Structure 1
């Protein structure tokens, strides 16, 4: 990555950012027990229930997630290895099975290309982490493409056919669209295979060339990244060209405006969740030692993820070394709540819409799937609560308990 050596002011800027402005960033305190339970209606409003067209062979399984595309709701059923496609008004469009692709292929919605991408290893080859790194370092070699397979579904083509494609550079080096004609890369790896020791945790590319790098580290033997693979987390905001960036093992949340970076928040952790100073200066001997450290210190901090800000609240998750927890921070009172302590109430049909998994966001709205049986149970036991008009005919048709319904909601702004 010698390209960046032509920009010494940038390197100095990256080195000084953690120190500069620390007194200006707002602190988010994560108390040992957070707070007690609260009603979900304190945080959530604008709930809209979207019934989906009933089909006999479609049920909502335990392991699923939803993406909201330009024109469709896309439910990914990981158990059945299929995609359920619906229009925005709930009309069933198509069921797409991807079982034949193999075990290592999972659907990823590419918003920039308006397509679904499946990218994984060619099962005819068994690659080690070292093998994959060698391929990344020689990504332009046409022979290396045989180790991977790629399939796509063009969401602008109403046949919704799974088509085979040739993997490109961005697939192999894990680069993703940032904005306009820029791409970002945030994978962090150390290895003696690298010839140049300088790399950056977060990099921006244009036309396959590095244009900016942030947070320099030693690509060969950086202590905190030895015997592991990490990545920065990049989250869109409701405003174009503004993102939030978080780093592994670092408690500062950065705001990115276009390609300029500023520290915005700092997560203040309880001592029991904080990494010891030795973690940053004492290298692990091998992967086994590193894995043992993670298992024995499962509640130590790893990274802030899925950071989303509104005028009143911040919704975010924390990845610990072996655990995962989601939170809501209330700005006015400087209080952080654990999502699992937030309870649904009858004003929102007793639906648990906040959670650690299965919730996606499109702009300022959140989406999750819900079983029709949960709604049937609620309205049967709460006769005085009026059924929303959009649900009347759906519930009267007596759908199966596992029939999917989509819940749309927002975080309160007032």
Structure 2
């Protein structure tokens, strides 16, 4: 029987080789100045509109964070310190008081609830205290420094704020992931840490560390000293996949469950790429580092990827001083497009949905357009005889500059 296993083993090895080959990285030469433009409708199509009800109670700041949940859009208005709940059609449901302490707020999709971890105000922690707590986060004595609350979104009759028992992993500021996992993506450099080695991205199940990636020196790493940064982990077209990028690395990685591999490797022109001497520098203080960043403001620090299409890779290019440019990479024709050169047209109601991509709700993609921007666009194109959907047309007729923003549901063409 053993000789018969040889063909099976051979084909297994061939399949494994092919699978690994599919995961091999692609080197892409990217000159930002050469990126093209085009009509917006060549890239996307608009599918629907969400008009948020605007009342004295439901009004929110145009910069508010919008979180899609199973049944609702939850709006976190950080300026007014309040949480608003709307249904998926924009009807106002509930307001959670003013001056709310958000702390570290995240949506737990598996439990369908908002979770907030805040510091216990009874204690005033120093940088040294925080460093010691992070390194010894499983010590039960450290739980007293935090409080945890949640809002049960499945309980539509009450929407009460509940106090929850803090657990050790909450101290690390975990972000809910899939299959009961969570990841920690904050990068902190502080001489108060006792240990030197740490990793920028760590994946846990409960308190059990599964995988960790991107090693750094958390006591004095030159890249991150005097700065607080994080690894970017964003949705992909596949439900079980996330795009991962991190500062000072032009690689685009894919995370599948707890496995990470590089998919693309961007190669930038010399005048935009970070020189090797940056990694050898030792900044003595914040001023010295800030001066270096300002003098080299055109250098590219990081890419943030948003890809919810099988064909187009949407990404933001961030400079050393946080200036941002948005691009699309057409993986089919190996072409780059600059969002600034993509022109909204009548088929997309002249609304700049590409530039205003806000979030995704599973496979659904949403752009957020503020009322004042929408009204200006409407005035600018009154003579163009655009065929607006009735909901959008009514919004143009009734909205003022203080009206809540709208969401445009759209998808990228493949």
Shorter-chain TM-score: what band? 0.7 to 0.9
- Structure 1 Cα separation of the partners of residues 231 and 260 of structure 2: 14
RMSD: 3.2
Of stretches 190-199 and 264-273 in structure 1, the one that deviates more from structure 2 is 190-199
Aligned equivalent of 1:127: 125
Q: How many residues align?
A: 390
Q: Deviations over 1:134-162 (max 9, x none)?
A: 11122234443343343322211222223
Structure 1 segment 25-64 matched on structure 2, within 5 A: 25-35=25-35, 37-55=37-55, 57-59=57-59, 61-64=61-64
Q: Deviations over 1:213-263 (max 9, x none)?
A: 233334444443444333322223232332222122111111223333321
Q: In the alignment, is the contact (CA less than 8 A) between 1:370 and 1:405 conserved in 2? A: yes
Pair 1:345 & 2:345 matched: yes
Q: Deviations over 1:32-70 (max 9, x none)?
A: 424354322222113311233453554453322322110
Q: In the alignment, is the contact (CA less than 8 A) between 2:46 and 2:408 conserved in 1? A: no
**Closer, same or farther: CA 171–325 of 1 in aligned 2, 3 Å:** farther
Aligned equivalent of 2:3: none
- Structure 2 gap segments, 5+ residues each: 1-19
Aligned equivalent of 2:89: 89
Alignment TM-score, normalising by the size of structure 2? 0.81
2:279 aligned counterpart, secondary structure: helix
Pair 1:384 & 2:391 matched: no
Q: In the alignment, is the contact (CA less than 8 A) between 2:251 and 2:262 conserved in 1? A: yes
- Structure 2 Cα separation of the partners of residues 377 and 282 of structure 1: 48
Q: Deviations over 1:165-187 (max 9, x none)?
A: 34432321122233213222233
Aligned equivalent of 1:286: 285
**Closer, same or farther: CA 120–292 of 1 in aligned 2, 3 Å:** farther
Structure 1 segment 248-287 matched on structure 2, within 5 A: 248-287=247-286
- Structure 1 Cα separation of the partners of residues 208 and 104 of structure 2: 28
- Structure 1 Cα separation of the partners of residues 88 and 276 of structure 2: 51
Q: In the alignment, is the contact (CA less than 8 A) between 2:137 and 2:169 conserved in 1? A: no
Q: In the alignment, is the contact (CA less than 8 A) between 1:28 and 1:336 conserved in 2? A: no
- Structure 2 Cα separation of the partners of residues 309 and 241 of structure 1: 12
Q: In the alignment, is the contact (CA less than 8 A) between 2:235 and 2:308 conserved in 1? A: no
Q: In the alignment, is the contact (CA less than 8 A) between 2:314 and 2:327 conserved in 1? A: yes
1:266 aligned counterpart, secondary structure: strand
- Structure 1 Cα separation of the partners of residues 281 and 49 of structure 2: 52
Aligned equivalent of 1:66: 66
Aligned equivalent of 2:410: 409
Aligned equivalent of 1:6: none
Which has the bigger relative contact order, CA under 8 A and spacing at least 6? 1
- Structure 1 Cα separation of the partners of residues 252 and 395 of structure 2: 44
What is the CA distance between 1:390 and its match in structure 2? 4.3
Q: In the alignment, is the contact (CA less than 8 A) between 2:49 and 2:392 conserved in 1? A: yes
Q: In the alignment, is the contact (CA less than 8 A) between 1:197 and 1:219 conserved in 2? A: yes
Aligned equivalent of 2:148: 150
Pair 1:179 & 2:171 matched: no
What is the CA distance between 1:116 and its match in structure 2? 1.9
- Structure 1 gap segments, 5+ residues each: 1-19
**Closer, same or farther: CA 122–296 of 1 in aligned 2, 3 Å:** farther
Aligned equivalent of 1:317: 316
